[in-house]
Amino acid sequence: MALELPALPYALDALAPHINAQTLEIHHGKHHQAYVTNGNKLIEGTEFAAMKVEDIIKATAGKADKAGIFNNAAQVWNHTFYWHSMKPGGGGKPTGAIAAKIDADLGGYDKFAQEFAQAGATQFGSGWAWLVLENGKLAIKKTPNAENPMTAGAKPLITMDVWEHAYYLDFQNRRPDYMKAFLDHLVNWDFANQNLG
Ligand code: MN3
C-alpha cells in the first residue's frame, strides 16, 4: 500500500502543556490513521496504488472525480509534514538560513509571526497555514481542507494545522491561543532549514 502512517517524531506527551498527549493520540492515531485507511481503500487496484504520496497529490489535484483520493492522500502528507513542523522546546525566533531569509523576504520575524497567525486566523473553517518557498522567495499561504501549496508549484517549509481537531481539546474555540503556542513554543526551525536547504 502506498499510504502509510509514520510514527510521531516525539513522544505523545512531548509537546505538553501546549498540545497534550490526548490531542496527539487522537490526532495521529485516529484522524491521521483514518486518512491512511480511507486513502488506501480508494487507491486499491488503481494506478495510484504504486505511486508515492506526493505524486498521487499532484496527479489528482483539481480533478473532481478524484476528490476522495486527493483529500485523503493530501491529508496523509500534510499531517506527516505537520508533526515535523513542531518539536519539543521549539518556537521563538529562528536561526540559520531561514532566519536570514525571513528578514530578507518577509520583513523580519515579528512581521512573519503576525502574518502567519493572520493566515491561520482568517482560514475560514478547516485548513492549513504554510510557510513556503515560491519562485525563490518565502511566502505565507493558507489553504482550505486538504489543499497543499505544492500543487501550485510552491515548496512547503512549515505547516500549521488549523482544523479544530488540532486544538479543540487544549484550546477549545481559541484558535489564536493555539497559533501563539505553535509559534512561541513548538515551531521546528531546524525542519524549515532542512526543507530550505
Ligand atoms: Mn489534522
pLDDT digits (tens), the chain, 197 positions: 589 999 999 999 999 999 999 999 999 999 999 999 999 999 999 999 999 999 999 999 999 999 999 999 999 999 999 999 999 999 999 999 999 999 999 999 999 999 999 999 999 999 999 999 999 999 999 999 999 999 999 999 999 999 999 999 999 999 999 999 999 999 999 999 999 98
Find all residues with CB under 8 Å of 140, minimum gap 6, and list them. 106, 112, 115, 116, 119, 129, 130, 131, 132
pLDDT at 152: 96
Maximum pairwise Cα distance, the chain: 49
C-alpha 116/C-alpha 88 separation (Å) is: 20
Task: Give distance in angstroms: CA of 79 to centre of ligand 1.
Answer: 6
Domains, in order of start, for the chain: 21-84 (1.10.287.990), 97-196 (3.55.40.20)
Task: Give distance in angstroms: CA of 99 to centre of ligand 1.
Answer: 27
Task: Give distance in angstroms: CA of 193 to centre of ligand 1.
Answer: 23
Task: Give distance in angstroms: CA of 104 to centre of ligand 1.
Answer: 31
Task: Give distance in angstroms: CA of 127 to centre of ligand 1.
Answer: 8
Task: Give distance in angstroms: CA of 172 to centre of ligand 1.
Answer: 15
Q: Report helix, strand or coil for 171.
A: helix
Task: Give distance in angstroms: CA of 98 to centre of ligand 1.
Answer: 25
